[in-house]
Amino acid sequence: MAKRSSKPKRGPRRRESVPRSAARTVERRQARRRAWKRLGLLLGTLLLLAGGAWGGWAAWRAMFSENVFFEIQQIDVTTDGDLRRGHILEYARVSVGQNLFAVNPQDIRELLLSVPVVAHAQVGRRLPNTLVIELTERVAVARLGRAGSGSPLAVDSLGHVLGPSSVRARLPVVVGIRDKGLRPGDQVEDSMLAEALTVLEVCNQADVRPDLTVTTIDVSNDEQLDVGLATGERVLLSRTGMEKKLRQLCAMREEARRRGLALGVYDMTVERNFVGRPAAWQDPAERP
């Protein structure tokens, strides 16, 4: 008996027509050609831009940064402080003979602003051969440290730390600042320094200056300042209403002189009823 095959019979294969296959081949070739054209166009554009940039840079160098017509023959330096011209040029890293367009005024400005004593700097070109530098320097208003210690640091009215070149013996000394490791260029963060600088600002006003010359300010106490005057008196001053109290201090000292009183300590840590005492006075509560 003959065996029947279990495999299904396959029908005739459907073959793709030759014209359609050829058309698809042509389409693929055309797509590849378009892709290569786009890539070539992109590369050509990039090369054109690169060539233009190189040509522009070469033209700039030839016309400006390497043109002897623009060599620096003069550097005008203006400052309102004590920095010498030679030091300023050294800080700015510029000299006569450099090309005016080969140096960047903004870079020079940043170099100058990195100097602790420089507060503001402006740098510009004056064609054809002059570089202009204008500086505003920080002014030291106090020394940091102890009286007589020869502290090498000073501060300006905003609390910027200045180096030894700014220290003057006539400057008042601020004692008790809590910041450690201060260096020129830093800014004091201790809030009590701002109180001390306020005292100095008030005492430097024209109508107060003749009567109150500050030599020391101790800010180690968070609640009050201990101000030493050139005439030997001490002023204990709370942090509130300091300008009003300092002006009242002038009137109290004048009244003490009129009465012939030798007062050494003025206690102005309260809001009213300020007290003046002799230097040798001692609080009864503290007496043995």
CA 70 to chain centre: 32
Query: Which residues on neighbouring strands pair with residue 265, listed in sequence order?
Result: 234, 277
Q: ∠ CA(87), CA(92), CA(96), 5° rounding?
A: 85
Where are the strands (E) in the chain, listed by range? 74-79, 118-126, 130-137, 142-144, 154-155, 161-162, 173-175, 214-218, 224-229, 234-238, 265-268, 275-277
Measured distance between the N- and C-terminal CA atoms of the chain, rounded to whole angstroms: 140
Classify residue 256 as exposed, middle or buried by CB count within 10 Å of its CB (0-12, 13-18, 19+). middle
Where, residue-wise, is CATH 3.40.50.11690 in the chain?
142-279
Report whether 42 contacts 35 (CB < 8 A): no
pLDDT at 153: 93
CA neighbor of 264 nearest in space, from 230, 228, 234 = 234
Reported residue count of the chain is 288
pLDDT at position 1 is 47
> Any idea of the CA torsion for 202, 198, 81, 99, to the nearest 10 degrees?
-140
Residues 281/267, Cβ–Cβ less than 8 Å: no
156-158-164 Cα angle (round to 5): 25
Considering the domain delimited by 142-279, tell me its CATH architecture.
3-Layer(aba) Sandwich (3.40)
Using CB atoms within 10 Å of the CB of residue 133, give its burial: 0 to 12 exposed, 13 to 18 middle, 19+ buried: buried
Domain with CATH 3.10.20.310 in the chain: 68-137
- CATH code for the domain defined by 68-137: 3.10.20.310
pLDDT values of the chain reduced to their tens digit, one per residue, 288 residues: 445 555 555 555 555 566 776 777 777 777 777 777 777 777 777 777 777 676 656 555 656 567 888 899 999 999 999 999 999 999 999 999 999 999 999 999 999 999 999 999 999 999 999 999 999 999 999 999 865 555 689 999 999 999 988 999 899 999 999 999 899 999 999 999 999 999 999 999 999 999 999 999 999 999 999 999 999 999 999 999 999 999 999 999 999 999 998 899 999 998 888 988 887 655 555 545
